[in-house]
Homo-oligomer: A and B are copies of this chain.
Amino acid sequence: MGELSERQKFILTLVIHEYVRSAQPVGSQTLVDRYALDMSSATVRNEMVALTEAGYLRQPHTSAGRIPTEEGYRYFVSRMVRQSELPAPIQRTISHQFYQTRHDIEEWMRLAASVLAHQSRVASLVTAPHSEQARLKHLELISTRGRQVLMVLVLTGGEIHQQILALPEPISQDKLTEAANHITQLYQGQDINGTNVSNSNLSAFEQVVLGLVSGLMGQSNALVAGEVYLDGLTNVLAEPEFAGSEEARRALHLLEERSLLEDLLSRTVLRSPASGVQVLIGGEGTWDDLRQCSVVLARYGTPGLATGTLGVLGPMRMPYGRAISTVRFVANLLSDLVTETMVE
């Protein structure tokens, strides 16, 4: 599997481009015609033989055209599309859309998912910014109609959690506010995790609240990602390779099921130190459900404070250039927005 000649790389690119476009095996004559190549189909055939022997192309059957192998896609992605950028007009359009939603964080996530899905016509996911070791920023206790209290917790990084607390007997809103302020004052900026939550300065009620806060923070820190926003799931159903097959269901199920998604994210972007875009092609031998799929992922945010993940999932026959540049661009955009707004 040595180095390829320039012409071989060129033909590999064309085969991939044409296959992504048409979803049909690509023949030598087709390629010459469609791209007005300055050589004969026989020459293209010879190069195709070389690319096939190198493991970058394969034939569905003896007398058919070529389609890219997983290795073919990998070669293409790693050496040929890394540097491409999203066209400037599209960049401006997207930036403008984000500007219009500049006041609403949740809307950023939804918009990011929508942009990713539309730009590359695949399924997309965005996780809300999340810190693996958040500290307390603010606590609020709000009385409800019943004998219950709504607890609102703001963590550094900007995450907001709410939880319900059942009281043995009603407590007035004034007392609740007082308790919340007391705890906020004492524990602001700390990671109240699990242990060491007894404090003789606190009333019995405050002690209980503190225990719950501690539990919630521990639970939150254990998570790999924040809330998940999906979009464009129906896009991938339109792809011919997924027409009615089991494969599509399994891949989308991976996105629907939080635990599966956490596994995917924790073993990829979150393990890698670099902030670049990562491309998983064909499940990489680890995820059976993604054998027919590719995933393009990137992290955004401020490492240490709060980060999120975004990316797209589609068939292996995916417009990688477009997908990668879109993911990179949106990740940078979200990073800027979120870093500016980070609660610390």
Listed in ascending order, the chain A residues whose CB lies under 8 Å from chain B are 102-106, 137-138, 140, 142-146, 148, 150, 152, 154, 158, 160, 162-166, 212, 231-234, 237-238, 242-245, 248-249, 252-253, 256, 339-344
11 contacts between A and B (CB under 8 A): A102-B164, A105-B163, A106-B162, A137-B142, A144-B342, A148-B340, A150-B158, A150-B341, A152-B154, A160-B162, A237-B252
A33 to chain B, nearest CB (A): 30
Instruction: Determine which of B165, B231, B248 lies in contact with A256 in the assembled complex, contact meaning CB atoms within 8 Å.
Output: B231
The answer to whether B152 and A160 touch across the interface, beta carbons within 8 angstroms, is yes
Residue of A142, A237, A238 ringed by the most chain B CB atoms within 10 A: A237
Q: What residues of chain B lie closer than 8 Å to A245, measured between beta carbons?
A: 244
A185 to chain B, nearest CB (A): 11
The answer to whether A150 and B103 touch across the interface, beta carbons within 8 angstroms, is no
Instruction: Determine which of B103, B232, B256, B344 lies in contact with A145 in the assembled complex, contact meaning CB atoms within 8 Å.
Output: B344
The answer to whether A341 and B154 touch across the interface, beta carbons within 8 angstroms, is no
A65 to chain B, nearest CB (A): 23
CA distance A162 to B103 in the complex (A): 9
Q: What residues of chain B lie closer than 8 Å to A158, measured between beta carbons?
A: 144, 150
Residue of A104, A164, A166, A242 ringed by the most chain B CB atoms within 10 A: A164
The answer to whether B145 and A343 touch across the interface, beta carbons within 8 angstroms, is yes
Q: What residues of chain B lie closer than 8 Å to A144, measured between beta carbons?
A: 158, 340-344
The answer to whether A148 and B234 touch across the interface, beta carbons within 8 angstroms, is no
Instruction: Determine which of B142, B166, B233, B342 lies in contact with A138 in the assembled complex, contact meaning CB atoms within 8 Å.
Output: B142
Chain B residue at minimal CB-CB distance from A245: B244
A333 to chain B, nearest CB (A): 15
Copies in the complex: 2
The answer to whether B103 and A163 touch across the interface, beta carbons within 8 angstroms, is yes
Q: Is the interface of A mostly helix, strand, loop or mixed?
A: mixed
Chain B residue at minimal CB-CB distance from A215: B103
Q: What residues of chain B lie closer than 8 Å to A140, measured between beta carbons?
A: 138, 140, 152, 154
CA distance A106 to B128 in the complex (A): 15
CA distance A144 to B338 in the complex (A): 10
A189 to chain B, nearest CB (A): 12
CA distance A277 to B163 in the complex (A): 29
CA distance A249 to B142 in the complex (A): 43
Instruction: Determine which of B105, B150, B243, B248 lies in contact with A164 in the assembled complex, contact meaning CB atoms within 8 Å.
Output: B105
CA distance A136 to B237 in the complex (A): 43
CA distance A245 to B342 in the complex (A): 45
Q: Known: A152-B152, A233-B256, A249-B238. Is A104-B145 also a contact (CB below 8 A)?
A: no
CA distance A231 to B160 in the complex (A): 23
A275 to chain B, nearest CB (A): 19
Chain B residue at minimal CB-CB distance from A258: B110
CA distance A244 to B339 in the complex (A): 42
Instruction: Determine which of B102, B150, B154, B165 lies in contact with A142 in the assembled complex, contact meaning CB atoms within 8 Å.
Output: B154
Q: What residues of chain B lie closer than 8 Å to A256, measured between beta carbons?
A: 231-234
Q: What residues of chain B lie closer than 8 Å to A249, measured between beta carbons?
A: 234, 237-238
